[in-house]
Amino acid sequence: MWVALSYACWGISIVLALWMLYDWFKVDTTFSEEVLTSSREGELEATSEKHRI
């Protein structure tokens, strides 16, 4: 049973790693670099939690 579990672990790891690589490729070819890297620190603080004393 443990040996079978070990093989199953290898299988799951390979499938999920390939899925992440596929998704990474799909996202990077669908969206522009400007959109993907558009996150800014403090953006939400500035808009949703106005800083007042």
Partner 1 sequence: MTIALEPAAQGDRVSLLRVLGPAHVWALGVGIVLVGEFTGWNFSADKGGALAALIVCWVVGLLYTSVAMIDSEVTSTVAAAGGQYAQAKHIVGPLMAFNVALFLVFAYTMLEVSDAILLGDTIVAKAGVEGLTHNSFIAATIVVLAWLNYRGVLMTLNVNFVITAVAYISIVILFFSVSPWTQGAVLKLNELVTPGNALPYGWIGVIAAFQFGIWYYLGIEGTTQAAEEVRSPARSLPYGTMAGMITLLIAAAMTWYVCASMMPWEYLGITYYPLWDAGKLTGSPLLENLLFVATLLAALASANGCINDAARAWFSLGRDRYLPTWFSAVHPRYRTPYRSILFLLPIALAFAFIADLNQAITFSILSGVLQYTFMSINIMMFRRKWPLGSIRRGYTHPFHPIPAIVLFCLCVVTFFAIFLGFGSQLIAMVAFYFLISLWFHFYRYKFVRRGDQFTMPWPKPQGY
Binding-residue pattern over the window 30 to 49 for partner 1, x denoting contact by CB under 8 A: -xxx-xxxxxxxxxxxx-xx
Q: Is 25 in the site for partner 1 (CB under 8 A)?
A: no
Q: Which residues of 8-30 are buried (b: 16+ CB within 10 A; e: fewer)?
A: eeeeeeeeeeeeeeeeeeeeeee
Q: Is 22 in the site for partner 1 (CB under 8 A)?
A: no
- CA distances 15 to 12, 30, 44, 48, Å, are 5, 22, 36, 40
Q: Is 24 in the site for partner 1 (CB under 8 A)?
A: yes
Contacts with partner 1 by CB under 8 A lie at: 2-3, 5-7, 9-10, 12-13, 16-17, 19-21, 23-24, 27, 31-33, 35-46, 48-49, 51-53
